[in-house]
Structure 1
Amino acid sequence: MIEFNQRDIRQIEEKGISKKTVEDQIRTFMEGIPNVSLYAPAVVGDGILRVPSKEKERYIRSFEKAMNSLSLLKFVPASGAASRMFRSLFAFLEGYNPGEQSLDSYLKKNKDSHLVRFFEQVSDFPFYDLVLRKMGIKELSSDEDKYHFVQELLSEDGLNYGFYPKGLLPFHKYGEHLVTPFEEHLFEGVEYARVKNRARLHFTISEPHQSLFDQEWEKIGSLVEKETGTSFDVGYSYQSQATDTIAVTPENEPFRNEDGSVLFRPGGHGALLRNLNAQDADIIFIKNIDNVVTRDQSEDTAASKKLLAGVLLDLQNKVFRYAELLESNSISGGDMEEIRDFLERDLNVRFSDSYGGFTIGQQIEILKDKLHRPLRVCGMVKNQGEPGGGPFWVRDRNGNVSLQIVESAQVDLEREHQAVIFSEATHFNPVDIVCGVKDHKGEKFDLLRFQDEKQGFITGKTQEGKPLKALELPGLWNGGMAYWNTIFVEVPISTFNPVKTVNDLLKPAHQV
């Protein structure tokens, strides 16, 4: 194993990481991470629930009736910087000189349809008028104006949007009011996370951005509270340094910076499992910061969230009743059969062939274990070619089959059988999750106990031109929730409107 010097050990300890954890990470680099073994795609009728219209109304009403007696929280991963949104515009600033060629010839030469659309519809962006005012002009009348428009938008001396947190960029425009995703999430939270005129939201952010979020709340907080008749409890947390992972060279030696210190990197969104674990609520809604719509189009989103919460409450009530029954001294063989049927039919739990050979006492313990887990109900939208994860039946290294959200990076697509299963996915994961994190006694689960640490990711990166290998922790909704009880529910595609590039703001969901 790698030998660390005293300076290394001090650096590791200052991060709050144990030496053993770092050694385990290096061992992971050496051994590699086994690919997930896909068993079958989850489809409607086999892993994905399609709720009939009449049933939807029942679930929604059930949640609305119960919500004032519950503690609710909306959890929003919001630490992403906006730089990737503007990648093509950064390349444009670097590659185009308005004094040397026309914009038309540059666009034709580079065949960048993204840039063509950006300039064709530039006046439809919510920030258009703001940038013009900053430039002191009324319209873009020349190629040089267009170049300086992008410069004003992204440069440090201008609006600096390329280095802003994505959650604080203007996504929508109501009259003269520019609205950020942060503000839209507040309004949306009122629809399904409000209890007795109080709504709780928690945003995971980067520590350097805290003051920016505080400033935004100072600017809009009282206005949003007045308009919604709601008081807000807004909390923040940062990704812990203790979740950073060591980077290594291609030869699996610790990668060192120029000053000789060891390079550690953020552990990806799986690191947020600790942040989620620190929250206390009966029901937690999870939704990414960039997946919002304008308020006049929010009805589908609110109904969908209430549907998922209603499904969760219905299942959770049965889980709690069965858990209490298993702890009583009066359980019968018929009761045990009923519980097993419920687990298989409603919670998608699969039992091993050897279950029937166990004693009654052993079977009771197995049933208790299967029930005593966090519960998640995940919305799934029909696959329309978006990159990212999807719902699958997966076989683990012990032969157990379960429902999981799987990213393409976790699958060996060189194996034809696995590639075929992956291509047969009918639905896509929009990160639309409702979580039940308490047991039948009202005690909160330790979520760290229900992750699969073997489901991380190893990726190739560069630092100062040198190649390295980086380790990401199991994704928050992938390996981070591997041992939760999981239900997938089909939700409308209208509920999924992420902004991955600046041109996504031109889609109807973001136009008032």
Structure 2
Amino acid sequence: MEEKFTKSDLALIQNKGISIQQLEKQFHYYANGIEKIVLVKPALIGDGIIKLSSEESEKYQEVFDTHKASTSIIKFVPASGAATRMFKFLLEFLNDFKKGEESINAYINRTNNKELSVFLVGIKKFPFYNDLLKVTKALYDGFDSLNPDEKYYILIETLLSPAGFDFSNKPKAILPFHVKSGKQVTPIEDHLKEAIYYKSGNVAPHVHFTISKEHQESFDTIANQFDDFVVTFSYQHEATDTIAVQPDNTPFRLDDNQLFFRPGGHGALIENLNALEADLIFVKNIDNVSQNHMKDIIANKKMIGGLLFEIQNKVFEYLKILEGQKVDADIMNEIIAFASKTINVVFPLDFEKFKKEYKIEFLMEVLNRPIRVCGMVKNEGEPGGGPFWIKDSEGNISLQIVEGSQMDTTNEMQERIIQKATHFNPVDIVCGVKNYKGEKFNLKEFVDENSGFIVSKSKNGKPLKSFELPGLWNGAMAFWNTIFVEVDLITFNPVKTVNDLLKPAHQPEDE
């Protein structure tokens, strides 16, 4: 492998902290491809997904409130992603609009860019509109005398251009998503306020954001306004970058002949998650925030947290019994039933034939793992990535969160399973990362290294292939114990496009 690289290549690889073995594995994937996930069936209510009654939900909220005082808790928010895709249709408009030759309506009809119509109709309802209008007028003399199409074009240009707000090149986390009491509110602030649910006594809630180094100052400026929170940051490690290749699987090189590495995707953040010192870690995406519904959102957070507490305490109790080896037939059957029904362990067909010591060994191994409780919401659109029962290459069946890119949609049987899915993954997760002895798990030991995927990209107009590491809540947590529970759809309010900010969850309630 080393003979593929020049001395300067090897120096770059070493500086990034990447091993030759890592690169060998990535080139193997490029050459041989990565097998799609084999879906057995969708996880459904009563078959992999728990649906709680309102009374049960309230009970688990109380469990959470009872236990949180003696538990160290961190909220983990991946927040390094740029907002480029939020403004994709506006960038296309700036690039494709025939200024002076056509009207905006003609452009919309020509390109079928209906999102632009929605944006323009609601433009005054965006949290940044007043500032945008003020800055645009300062930049362009005579703005008020322009016709409506010219005004809209210039406003959008100011919103996205480096000379203006440059929103498409900034991380979502620092953009204004909401307005509260006349003040613009960013997702960072929304996540901090939401973290009040695990505050106990005088202990300040701790929220950890993963960010890009170049935007540290912007994050600091916002976070420093809040003294009653502990806010920490980390960067995605360069050692998790992956090497890009050309279509023929040879290394992709930049114009200066340097190797090109790309970030390994959100799966790389298992390193950041692993570095945190806490008993419980809540995981939620940066863009899933709401102007409203805070009471419901917090209730659901407490519910999944309380469910984790109860299940984890039972797991710890059973592990201590198993470790002592004093396990009679009744206790053995009780633990097996718990592992099967609550932890979703699928036992080997010949498990009943195991000797007692091997049964204990198997149960110790499957129970002594990190635990995650994942909220799932009803899928009211097309079935896509979400909770499924899957079979690995060794025939083991387990519950997993599977992305659309991991599914073989060309296989008719697999497609039927996909179409039967009823829920999808909103990334609403609470993680128990310590074992029954109070020791922190090494989360990197529970990653399925073979569940990454290859994506097609381009650089400087040239096509390339890139390897993305197993996703944070997919392959990076593949060997965790997983519990899926239905949560209210009202808790899921992602901002994937700027027009999502026009939805009721992101608009002031009094408007």
For the aligned pair, the TM-score class normalised by the smaller chain equals over 0.9
Q: How does 1:221-370 map to 2 (within 5 A)?
A: 221=226, 225=227, 231-294=228-291, 296-370=292-366
Q: How does 1:21-170 map to 2 (within 5 A)?
A: 21-136=22-137, 142-170=148-176
Q: Which moved more, 1:369-378 or 1:357-366?
A: 357-366
CA distance in 2: counterparts of 1:279 and 1:376, whole angstroms:
16
Q: Which runs of 5+ in 1 are unaligned?
A: 226-230
Alignment partner of 2:204 out of 194, 198, 201: 198
Q: Which moved more, 1:374-383 or 1:166-175?
A: 166-175
Q: Which amino acid aligns with 2:260?
A: L
Q: Which amino acid aligns with 1:111?
A: N
Alignment partner of 2:194 out of 188, 191, 202: 188
1:96 Cα shift? 2.0
Q: Which amino acid aligns with 1:385?
A: G
Structure 1 SS opposite 2:229: strand
From the superposition, tell whether residues 245 and 346 of structure 1 become closer, same or farther in structure 2 (CA, over 3 Å). Answer: same
Structure 2 SS opposite 1:182: helix
When normalised by structure 1's length, the TM-score is 0.95
CA contact (8 A) 1:76 1:203 kept: yes
CA distance in 2: counterparts of 1:361 and 1:234, whole angstroms:
47
When normalised by structure 2's length, the TM-score is 0.96
Percent of aligned positions that are identical = 50
Alignment partner of 1:178 out of 174, 179, 184: 184
CA distance in 2: counterparts of 1:246 and 1:386, whole angstroms:
34
Alignment partner of 2:469 out of 473, 484, 489: 473
1:110 Cα shift? 2.1
- Corresponding residue of 2:496: 500
Alignment partner of 1:484 out of 469, 480, 487: 480
Q: Which amino acid aligns with 1:287?
A: K
Give the ranges of 4+ consecutive aligned residues of structure 1 lying more than 4 Å apart after TM superposition.
137-141
From the superposition, tell whether residues 430 and 13 of structure 1 become closer, same or farther in structure 2 (CA, over 3 Å). Answer: same
1:9 Cα shift? 1.2
1:52 Cα shift? 1.1
CA distance in 1: counterparts of 2:216 and 2:383, whole angstroms:
30
- Corresponding residue of 1:228: none
1:359 Cα shift? 1.7
Q: Which amino acid aligns with 1:403?
A: L
1:409 Cα shift? 0.9
- Corresponding residue of 2:140: none
CA distance in 1: counterparts of 2:39 and 2:88, whole angstroms:
33
1:197 Cα shift? 4.1
From the superposition, tell whether residues 195 and 161 of structure 1 become closer, same or farther in structure 2 (CA, over 3 Å). Answer: farther
- Corresponding residue of 2:393: 397
From the superposition, tell whether residues 77 and 251 of structure 1 become closer, same or farther in structure 2 (CA, over 3 Å). Answer: same
1:432 Cα shift? 0.3
1:282 Cα shift? 1.1
CA distance in 2: counterparts of 1:394 and 1:273, whole angstroms:
22
CA distance in 2: counterparts of 1:112 and 1:265, whole angstroms:
31
1:217 Cα shift? 2.3
Structure 2 SS opposite 1:198: coil
Structure 2 SS opposite 1:130: helix
From the superposition, tell whether residues 369 and 410 of structure 1 become closer, same or farther in structure 2 (CA, over 3 Å). Answer: same
CA contact (8 A) 1:50 1:490 kept: yes
Structure 1 SS opposite 2:82: coil
CA contact (8 A) 2:388 2:401 kept: yes
From the superposition, tell whether residues 419 and 308 of structure 1 become closer, same or farther in structure 2 (CA, over 3 Å). Answer: same
Q: Which moved more, 1:250-259 or 1:408-417?
A: 250-259
CA contact (8 A) 2:383 2:419 kept: no
CA distance in 2: counterparts of 1:177 and 1:194, whole angstroms:
28
The Cα offsets for residues 4-28 of structure 1, whole Å up to 9 and x where unpaired, read as 2222211110100111111111112
